[in-house]
Amino acid sequence: MITHKGPLTTEEFMAWLKDGKDMLAVERTTAWACFIKVPKREGIDYIFHQEGYVGTENLLSCNVPFRFTGLYKQDEQTLYCPRFPACAVSDWQTVPENTELYLRREFCKGVRERIEDMVNNGRKGIPKELTDERLKAEVAEYIDHQADESAAWSLMDSVPIESIVFKSSYTVSDLYDCLPDYLQDRKGFVNTTAMAYISLHKEEILAELMQIDAHREKYAAILADPDNPLHRMKQISDAVRSSRASTVLVTVEKDGVQATIRTSAKSLSGYHPTYNDFDAPAADSKAFREAFGSWANYTAADVRAITYGRKTIYEAPASEVKQAETPPKGFAMTMGGM
């Protein structure tokens, strides 16, 4: 054992890690700490410490638990995941790249990227068909009831279709058990972990891929059809978003009857199969219902103009043929204005 009186400097502590001695004691006026090395494997040591108060325990006590200090990689002369007792090293500055949080984030990011690469480029390790009945039902439910809306939102948000791909949610809460493997061969251990994850979750991944395929198919169909009424909805959404307005005036025309109401810009932004007067002030709402009936709503095709201040931010083409008021199949549900 090496005994050091007074606080250690970082340089002195790193010199002890490097020199190969197994034990180091730090003794101050009122506190003490002992460090030990435990070889984990060739070139990697676990470092632990005890700490206590002078006069209550002797140095290296059988009554004081050992706590994890860090993992020392000899060829790099680097201490990973450092955790020091306050009395021991006076000037230690934790390097962010050495912390457990940084390493966990780096590891998870690498595994996610590897999983996504294997799944999106060739679907390596993924079966051709589902066997799990629950997953089959989930995929069918998505295709029948959610894929259209997902595609519509992608249009509203100008999402590039090529970006609609599998995204991994891999995470790990505790990296300590596998940290030596990771530090010894980062790329190899990331690859091994990614392959093991795919093997364990291959049916869940296939189900997600099937939903992604349906989403992309619906979205591609919208993009290929310039007459799809969703394009009008996107023009309205883009206009109010770019205006940065909180409140706008919208002019609605249905069956030759026209009304103008004040409403929130948010109620016209994004995907709304139909719009309504719920956000309008009471007087505007009353006028709207007198014109079109109680609980009436309107579609993007019914919008003639939108103004913000004295500026017209959206105007329907004069030559446009008015489309049917009933939304197309797949977009028939009624939503609120917000």
- Please state the rounded mean pLDDT for residues 85-98: 82
Both 112 and 212 in a single domain?
yes
**Domain boundary residue, one of 224, 241, 273:** 224
pLDDT at 177: 86
The domain of 163 spans 100-224
Examine residue 337 and state whether it is found in any structural domain, yes or no: no
Rg (CA), the chain: 32
85 or 259, higher pLDDT: 259
**Would residue 328 count as lying in a domain?**
no
* Closest C-alpha among 72, 28, 85 to residue 54: 28
Q: What is the pLDDT of residue 336?
A: 37
Task: Tell whether 215 and 248 lie within a shared domain.
Answer: no
Helices (H) and strands (E) in the chain, counts: 9, 10
336 domain-assigned: no
Tokens encoding 252: 């609605």
Residue 67 lies in a domain: yes
The verdict on 192 and 151 lying in the same domain is yes
Half-sphere exposure of 234 (CA within 13 A, CB side): 17
pLDDT tens-digit readout, 256-285 = 999 999 999 999 999 999 999 999 999 999
Domain match, 115 and 209 both: yes
Is 124 in the same domain as 216?
yes
Tell me the pLDDT tens digit for each residue of 294-326: 999 999 999 999 999 989 999 998 755 444 344
Domain boundary among 76, 95, 114: 95
Question: Are 105 and 190 in a shared domain?
Answer: yes
Residues contacting residue 319 through CB under 8 Å, at least 6 positions apart = none
Residues shown for the chain: 338
Number of domains making up the chain? 3
pLDDT value for 327 = 45
Residue 331: what pLDDT? Answer: 39
Is residue 149 predicted with pLDDT exceeding 60? Answer: yes
**Is residue 332 included in any domain, yes or no?**
no
Residue with tokens 């990689």: 73
Asked whether residue 321 is assigned to any structural domain, the reply reads no
115 lies in the same domain as 203: yes
Mean pLDDT calculated for residue range 218-228: 97
Indicate whether 181 belongs to any domain: yes
Q: Do 81 and 112 sit in the same domain of this protein?
A: no
Residues 170, 78, single domain; the answer is no
Q: Is 279 exposed, middle or buried (0-12, 13-18, 19+ CB in 10 A)?
A: buried
196 within a domain of the structure (yes/no): yes
Query: Band of the pLDDT at 334, cuts 50, 70, 90?
Result: very low
Would you state the pLDDT for residue 319? 57
CB 250 within 8 A of CB 263: yes
69 plus 49 within the same structural domain: yes
Structure confidence by residue, pLDDT tens digits, 245-254: 999 999 999 9
Structure confidence at residue 148 (pLDDT): 97
Residues 105 and 121 reside in one and the same domain: yes
Per-residue pLDDT averaged across 44-72, rounded? 86
Residue 286 has pLDDT above 70, yes or no: yes
Find the mean pLDDT for residues 152-166.
97
Alpha-carbon span 123 to 208, nearest angstrom:
12
pLDDT digits (tens, 9 = 90+) for 16-28: 999 877 789 888 8
The last residue of a domain, from among 69, 95, 121: 95
- Looking at the fold, whether 123 and 205 belong to one and the same domain comes out as yes
pLDDT, one tens digit per residue, over 174-212 is: 888 899 999 999 999 999 999 999 999 999 999 999 999
The pLDDT of residue 119:
97
Which of 271, 273, 321 lies closest to 297, judged by CA?
273
Q: Write down the pLDDT at residue 90.
A: 76
